């Protein structure tokens, strides 16, 4: 009887330990387990992306995500993640249909054979007295060197003396103009003009302005307003990442990249910090150039990953940058020693059977 009871407790303990260990290895892939949206305006576009990085040699599959509260709608970006690749759990705070303090637990599920569930949490306070219309500054696509303006209406209902005292941001590529348009009967309205300056570098714009008010409570004085858009480069290179992979021997390898512009241009220089690369270009003005990139493996050893900058005769020496990588393989004597079932990724060493899924 005592033996049977002991075995029963062992099985119960194992049932609890295996899911726990599975959860621990999966939690390591998340950049954080909790996010506070803070105090936001009603109607504001409020989103947070939990970053998930695969630290293991085995590919991971996210099968889904569910929310404990309708105040937050979760989605998955890039459900299949290979080694060092990233996925995102996108949490959208539903500020148009909810007001007040709300929070949600998001449960993220991973597929077998490395099945696990990870829970992350979001929470925040949606003000019912302040409304943004529209809910974010959306610049859309803007050509490099151009400006763009977007207007946001801020409407308040409550105190007669409520006001916006400042709009702050650390990004000097934005200009903000604030105009009070109405005050009376406990209501206040502002127009907020946000200008994207012509010196914004190419790429995606994801930023945040802070609307500062004279609210009495400190936690209500700073309201975020999200800014999104994309500055389309005048000059682009395809591909912008060139992977040569494993290279054996000393024979040079030549690849071509395409450099495009909206008007004819000349390539004035191609610069790289590593002399194992050489380049061949032409000096004719045209809208499309082919640039030859030659890698000389006899001039380096091991892993190489360098940026290459292509500069043109356009205004402000505009150009494009690509990253080239290669691994020069060194001949080593073979050995009969096996890897003992371990998979090593960088400084992370994990069992070939991920924790919590060991075969029996």
The CA distance from 156 to 158, in Å, is: 7
β-pairing, 34-42 vs 116-133, is: parallel
- What pLDDT was estimated at residue 11? 37
pLDDT digits (tens, 9 = 90+) for 147-190: 999 999 999 999 999 999 999 998 899 999 999 999 999 999 99
Taken in order 139, 144, 149, 152, the sign of the CA dihedral is positive
- What pLDDT was estimated at residue 333? 52
pLDDT digits (tens, 9 = 90+) for 25-74: 999 999 999 999 999 999 999 999 999 999 999 999 999 999 999 999 99
Secondary structure of residue 215 in the 3-state scheme:
coil
**What is the band of 349 on the pLDDT scale with cuts at 50, 70, 90?**
very low
Q: Hey, how many other C-beta atoms are within 10 angstroms of the C-beta on 38?
A: 14
Residue that is written with structure tokens 């360098």 in the block: 306
| Total length of the chain | 360
The CA distance from 259 to 292, in Å, is: 11
Out of 3.20.20.140, 2.40.50.140, 2.60.40.10, 1.10.357.10, the CATH code matching 235-328 is 2.60.40.10
How far CA 82 is from CA of 53, 94, 118, 232, 309, in Å, comes to: 9, 31, 18, 29, 29
The CA distance from 319 to 271, in Å, is: 11
Which residues, in sequence order, are CB contacts of 300 under 8 Å at separation 6+? 274, 276, 328
| 19 pLDDT higher than 50 | no
**Same fold flag, 2-37+46-121 and 136-232:** yes
CATH of domain 136-232: 2.60.40.10
Q: For the sheet containing 203-213, what is the strand order? A: 137-143, 222-232, 203-213, 164-168
Using CA atoms of 321, 327, 328, 331 in order, give the dihedral in degrees to the nearest 10: 180
Residue that is written with structure tokens 């977007």 in the block: 150
- What pLDDT was estimated at residue 175? 95
The CA distance from 287 to 236, in Å, is: 11
| 109 pLDDT higher than 70 | yes
DSSP 50-74: EEEE--SSS-EEEEEEEESSTTEEE
Structure-block tokens of residue 48: 């947070």
pLDDT, mean of residues 190-209: 95
Percent helix, strand and coil across the chain, each to the nearest 5 = 10, 60, 30
Structure-block tokens of residue 172: 């000097």
β-pairing, 174-184 vs 187-196, is: antiparallel
- Pairwise pLDDT comparison (284 vs 10), residue with the higher score: 284
Could you tell me which CATH class the domain 2-37+46-121 is placed in? mainly beta
- What pLDDT was estimated at residue 317? 86
Q: Hey, where are the domains in the chain? A: 2-37+46-121, 136-232, 235-328
The CA distance from 167 to 223, in Å, is: 9
pLDDT digits (tens, 9 = 90+) for 117-156: 999 999 999 999 999 999 999 999 999 999 999 999 999 9
| 8 pLDDT higher than 60 | no
| 224 pLDDT higher than 70 | yes
| 113 pLDDT higher than 60 | yes
**What is the band of 301 on the pLDDT scale with cuts at 50, 70, 90?**
confident
Residue that is written with structure tokens 């494993």 in the block: 246
**What is the band of 337 on the pLDDT scale with cuts at 50, 70, 90?**
very low
């Amino acid at each position: 009887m005592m033996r049977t009871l002991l075995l029963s407790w062992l099985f119960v303990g194992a049932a609890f330990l295996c899911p726990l260990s599975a959860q621990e290895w999966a939690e390591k892939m998340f950049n954080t387990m909790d996010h506070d949206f803070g105090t936001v305006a009603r109607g504001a576009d409020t989103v947070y992306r939990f970053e998930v990085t695969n630290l293991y040699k085995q590919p991971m599959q996210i099968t889904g995500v569910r929310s404990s509260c309708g105040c937050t709608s979760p989605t998955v970006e890039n459900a299949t993640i290979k080694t060092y690749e990233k996925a995102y759990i996108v949490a959208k705070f539903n500020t148009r249909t909810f007001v007040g303090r709300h929070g949600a637990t998001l449960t993220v599920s991973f597929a077998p054979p490395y099945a696990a569930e990870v829970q992350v949490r979001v929470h925040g306070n949606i003000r019912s007295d302040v409304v943004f219309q529209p809910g974010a500054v959306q610049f859309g696509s803007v050509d490099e060197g151009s400006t763009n303006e977007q207007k946001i209406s801020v409407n308040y209902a409550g105190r007669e003396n409520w006001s916006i005292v400042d709009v702050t941001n650390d990004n000097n590529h934005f200009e903000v103009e604030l105009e009070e348009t109405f005050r009376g009967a406990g209501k206040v309205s502002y127009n907020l003009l946000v200008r994207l300056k012509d010196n914004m570098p190419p790429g995606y714009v994801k930023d945040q302005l802070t609307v500062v008010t004279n609210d009495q409570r400190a936690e209500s004085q700073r309201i975020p307003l999200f800014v999104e858009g994309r500055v389309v480069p005048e000059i682009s290179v395809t591909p912008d990442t060139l992977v040569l992979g494993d290279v054996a021997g000393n024979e040079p390898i030549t690849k071509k990249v395409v450099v495009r512009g909206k008007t004819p241009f000349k390539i004035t220089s191609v610069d790289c910090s590593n002399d194992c690369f050489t380049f061949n270009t032409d000096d004719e003005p045209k809208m499309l150039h082919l640039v030859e990139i030659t890698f000389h493996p006899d001039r380096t050893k091991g892993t190489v990953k360098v940026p290459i900058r292509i500069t043109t005769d356009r205004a402000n020496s505009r150009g494009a940058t690509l990253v080239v990588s290669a691994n020069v393989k060194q001949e080593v004597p073979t050995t009969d020693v096996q890897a003992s079932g371990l998979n090593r990724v960088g400084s992370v060493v994990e069992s070939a059977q991920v924790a919590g899924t060991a075969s029996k």
